């Protein structure tokens, strides 16, 4: 399948307003939870940025053949950089300056694993030219990362911990407590919003206890801490 140019697509295709996402529901609760973790962690980390679009279970429309065949399955999660961060009913390539996803993550299941490793990999490699493609199975813990080198995907070499570096995210992706998570370059886990809130509460409590110890010490020395 040869992708059309942006101008050709714009002339042949309907407006993006008429193209709603057409994706099936998640097959397993583990998949929904995994997507929630990946999306919420990155959204929190990049909360001050407005130059990206992160979507899950959203159709990517890219060619006349795709519309004709009604082959509308999109990635489980994808990231497009260098675009406005605003809601969209679907990702329509010819309405977005010809931009395709920069990073894709697929969650394998018994019914989709073969397609994710084969047909979708070929689509993302040959048509989308997506720089990075990761897939992960919440059930079996299978995890793979691929980076586009020339015309072909090559495996991203894992670290000793089994993590794989994402140039698009500038983060590692790896398995933690049987979930796919992000890690900072220094190896620290990127927290979920709930984890971050718990860490802040712990820090606040530690600071309170430190202040109380200091106040007691000052009183032992005959100094009223309230007068300082």
Q: Answer left, alpha or beta for residue 6, where phi above 0 means left and psi between -120 and 50 means alpha.
A: alpha
β partners of residue 92: 61
Position 203 scores a pLDDT of 76
C-alpha 146/C-alpha 155 separation (Å) is 4
Q: Are residues 86 and 104 in the same domain?
A: yes
Q: Are residues 108 and 201 in the same domain?
A: no
| Residue among 15, 96, 97 nearest 55 (CA) | 96
26 with 57: CB under 8 angstroms?
yes
H or E segment to which residue 69 belongs? helix 64-69
81 with 102: CB under 8 angstroms?
yes
Taking the chain (228 residues) in consecutive chunks of 10 residues, what is each chunk's mean pLDDT? Answer: 49 50 60 94 96 94 75 86 95 93 96 92 95 97 97 97 98 97 97 84 74 77 76
Asked whether residue 1 is domain-assigned, the answer is: no
Domain count, the chain: 2
Q: Are residues 207 and 180 in the same domain?
A: no
Position 25 scores a pLDDT of 56
Position 157 scores a pLDDT of 98
Q: Are residues 115 and 70 in the same domain?
A: yes
Position 222 scores a pLDDT of 78
Q: Are residues 114 and 215 in the same domain?
A: no
C-alpha 110/C-alpha 181 separation (Å) is 22
Q: Are residues 116 and 138 in the same domain?
A: yes
Q: Are residues 57 and 158 in the same domain?
A: yes
Q: Are residues 42 and 150 in the same domain?
A: yes
Position 220 scores a pLDDT of 76
CA count, 13 A, side-chain hemisphere, 87: 3
Q: Are residues 59 and 171 in the same domain?
A: yes
pTM of the model: 0.79
Which domain covers residue 159, as residue numbers? Answer: 6-190
Q: Are residues 136 and 223 in the same domain?
A: no
Q: Are residues 102 and 25 in the same domain?
A: yes
Position 205 scores a pLDDT of 66
Position 101 scores a pLDDT of 97
Q: Are residues 226 and 171 in the same domain?
A: no
- Kindly list the distances between the CA atom of residue 167 and the CA atoms of 31, 75, 79, 182, in Å, as whole numbers in the listed order: 24, 19, 12, 13
Helix (H, G, I), strand (E, B) or coil at 138: coil
Phi, psi angle pair for 126, to nearest 5°: -90, -40
């Amino acid at each position: 399948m040869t992708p059309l140019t942006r101008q050709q697509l714009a002339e042949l295709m309907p407006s993006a307003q008429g193209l709603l996402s057409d994706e099936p529901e998640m097959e397993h609760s583990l998949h929904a939870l995994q997507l929630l973790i990946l999306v919420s962690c990155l959204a929190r980390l990049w909360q001050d940025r407005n130059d990206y679009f992160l979507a899950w279970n959203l159709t990517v429309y890219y060619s006349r053949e795709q519309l004709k065949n009604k082959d509308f399955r999109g990635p489980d999660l994808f990231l497009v950089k260098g675009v406005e961060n605003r809601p969209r009913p679907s990702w329509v390539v010819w309405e977005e300056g010809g931009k395709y996803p920069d990073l894709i993550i697929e969650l394998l299941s018994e019914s989709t694993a073969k397609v994710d490793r084969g047909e979708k990999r070929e689509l993302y490699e040959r048509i989308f030219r997506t720089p990075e493609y990761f897939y992960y199975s919440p059930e079996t813990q299978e995890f793979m990362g691929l980076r586009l080198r020339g015309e072909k995907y090559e495996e991203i070499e894992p670290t000793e911990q089994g993590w794989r570096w994402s140039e698009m995210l500038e983060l590692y992706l790896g398995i933690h407590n049987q979930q796919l998570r992000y890690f900072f370059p220094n190896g620290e886990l990127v927290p979920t919003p709930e984890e971050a809130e718990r860490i802040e509460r712990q820090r606040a409590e530690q600071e309170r206890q430190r202040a109380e110890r200091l106040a007691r010490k000052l009183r032992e020395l005959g100094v009223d801490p309230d007068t300082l």
